[in-house]
A and B are shown apart, each in its own frame.
Chain A
């Protein structure tokens, strides 16, 4: 009897939500984000249009700069003063940290009505939940473990995309002999960390990656596999040019586009640079999974955390925002602009380019076989404090020749214990 009652209650609740959706409740929705550059701004405008079509007012709250650090500082002051925006761009374990501080909104009703549990891969869905309730809506998926190669340079040395790290170094030697900078690298700590993450994934596999860089297991961090990864990582440094330190990632991508450099390890946002330069995947550049990680996938998922709204009309607008973010139409338009792929597993990929299609195919396959792993370099895997401490150790090792791989291993293991 009680079971029946609770089901009835749920049905009523869902019915309530849908009735509300029918009524023209016009609210205001304020969205904090840092998508201000070309393609990104276009993508956000799309979301604004969808909400305005539902009769709501969109209040843009864009805080540019600092890779989101500036936006987070503003968000903190808004939350502390008890006046949070409806939604804010927050991702990864930071979602849990914000939820633990209280004040986030439960959007499980929207999730239920739109079947999120079914259309989202379980790894991603669990990151959007706090204590079993949805508090955030995912927007897109970036693949981080990509290797970008200049096709003309590749043909010149008569090679193909490397499948493992031995082949990678052979190809790098050929580039060097041909007078091309083998690896375009931007020596900023997050880029060092991105390369490191790809190496660990390629050398140790997805399972090892999970143990070492997601669970931060001390045995894995101190294992010979990790040591081998560190040695491989450091070897890449010898194939970068002297001007690398401090270089922005898009300038490194430009080197590959111009053929000055052979290849670059970078997430799929690099594709936007190639496309902006009028290059075509397959004929002008090659996108391949980083060596040894064809069956693995490090993801970087952007998401919006919802904050509790006092005004019921605004709460309604917030629910509509959450539903719109995951609607198939928005997922398609947004990700075509942004260079990423839809987070929905049932997305149609016809309009996307070959790299995105490949990314989507691998995303679906790895979601099933456990190869889908959160990216540590992009704040998806562990808390910002631990990720930052490990990043320090990795970047220090990359830049300082006097640090041995053994010392670096000990430092990383130590850093992983940062609370």
Chain B
């Protein structure tokens, strides 16, 4: 009798334990992520200026956001940066991974060297590249002092080109990490497929192009996901490298939000811009999660 009671209690406890353990973090994320998303969403429809207020304003903040020339610059920059950062980062990472996968010597050391930039924060990367690219004492100055007085590389200070310097620094930072992802993917490919292809007389480039790269599809997927969210969130790199300048030519949505909400007392416009950023992220993440989860169901 007593044992039975005990086992019932035990069973109930076992049922509740996981829920109990997860509950605090669940509640915290409910409040501090979803609660604040909703709060921010509400603020974007309010007349908030310096401090939050709850007077309903309709779409006013969104109208002034989309009329703001600076916001358009930020969106355009995100487009340029996003495409180039993801594109070049993925290609370069894949290329490095393929080179490293050729069973070369000191692979471990080389891998750490390429991976090392990822260990730095974007602030450090941005500051270092700011010095490297500065025309009066960086790369341009160095090459000129080597005897090429006409050499110019002034992208950092050229409002038309400055956004590309952000791409350079971003790619430098992340391509090593992408390489590591692809390297893991390459190591996971069954050797026998490649051997079979070699027996069939396929050339090495052909094997890579037709067999290996297509089988890396899941790695491509996660790489692009990681890089895409880094691109949309990118704030610290821009702040450290160009500080949104020259002028506001390298502004990004995240730095735009910071400028409006915290520097200029336009909390409503800032909230509207972060809601737009959330919408952009959702547009990328939701379809991805959907396809992933559907995949699991099929497998399970």
Chain A positions near chain B (C-beta within 8 angstroms): 69, 72-73, 76, 79-80, 94, 97-98, 101, 187-189, 192, 241-246, 383-385, 387-388, 392, 395-396, 398-400, 411
Contact = CB atoms under 8 A, between A and B. Distances in A.
B249 A400 contact: yes
B76 interface: no
A333 B165 CA distance: 46
Given A245-B156, A246-B130, A396 B248 contact: yes
B243 interface: yes
A277 B127 CA distance: 26
25 contacts: A69-B263, A73-B262, A76-B51, A80-B52, A101-B50, A101-B51, A187-B157, A187-B245, A188-B243, A189-B245, A189-B247, A241-B136, A242-B135, A242-B157, A243-B157, A245-B156, A246-B130, A383-B265, A385-B49, A387-B264, A388-B259, A388-B263, A392-B69, A398-B247, A399-B247
B: contact size bracket? 20 to 34
Contacts of B242: 246
Given A189-B244, A385-B264, 5 more contacts: A242-B136, A243-B135, A387-B264, A388-B264, A392-B69
Given A188-B243, A241-B136, A242-B135, A384 B263 contact: yes
Contact of B49 (A97, A243, A398): A97
B146 interface: no
A76 B267 CA distance: 12
A286 to B, nearest CB: 25
Nearest to B136: A243
Looking at chain A's contact residues, is the secondary structure mostly helix, strand, loop, or mixed?
Answer: helix
B265 A384 contact: yes
A69 B52 CA distance: 17
Nearest to A411: B69
Nearest to B53: A101
A244 B137 CA distance: 11
A189 B248 contact: yes
A414 to B, nearest CB: 9
Interface string B152-185: 0010110110000000000000000000000000
A1 B177 CA distance: 85
B248 A385 contact: no
A76 B130 contact: no
Contacts of B259: 388
Contacts of A188: 243, 245
B111 interface: no
B134 interface: yes
B50 A244 contact: no
Contacts of A384: 263-265
Contact of A72 (B49, B52, B262): B262
Contacts of B234: none
A400 B159 contact: yes
Residue among B135, B156, B246, B249 having the largest count of chain A Cβ atoms under 10 Å: B246
Given A245-B157, A385-B264, A392 B248 contact: yes
A191 to B, nearest CB: 10
A398 B159 CA distance: 10
B128 to A, nearest CB: 14
B16 to A, nearest CB: 36
B265 to A, nearest CB: 5
B50 A246 contact: no
Given A388-B259, A400-B249, A79 B159 contact: no
A80 B51 CA distance: 8
B246 A245 contact: yes
Interface string B46-75: 000111100000000000000001100000
A173 B10 CA distance: 90
A130 B240 CA distance: 39
B40 interface: no
What 4 pairs between A and B have smallest CB-CB spacing? Answer: A243-B136, A399-B246, A245-B157, A399-B247
B158 to A, nearest CB: 9
Contacts of B275: none
Contacts of A189: 244-245, 247-248
A242 B154 contact: yes
B247 A395 contact: yes
A387 B259 CA distance: 12
Contacts of B273: none
B272 to A, nearest CB: 14
Contacts of A388: 259, 263-264
Nearest to B243: A246
A389 B70 CA distance: 9
Given A189-B248, A245-B245, A395-B247, A385 B136 contact: no
B223 interface: no
Contacts of B160: 400
B75 to A, nearest CB: 15
Nearest to A72: B262
B246 A246 contact: yes
Contacts of A72: 262
Residue among A80, A189, A392 having the largest count of chain B Cβ atoms under 10 Å: A392
A76 B159 contact: no
B157 A395 contact: no
Residue among A73, A188, A246 having the largest count of chain B Cβ atoms under 10 Å: A246
A258 to B, nearest CB: 14
B70 to A, nearest CB: 6
A73 B263 CA distance: 9
Residue among B50, B69, B249, B259 having the largest count of chain A Cβ atoms under 10 Å: B50
Contacts of A385: 49, 264-266
A28 B265 CA distance: 30
A76 B48 CA distance: 13
Nearest to B265: A384
A395 B130 CA distance: 20
A101 B51 CA distance: 8
A142 B285 CA distance: 51
A158 B172 CA distance: 50
B51 A243 contact: no
Nearest to A181: B136
Contacts of B249: 396, 399-400
A158 B52 CA distance: 58
Nearest to A386: B264
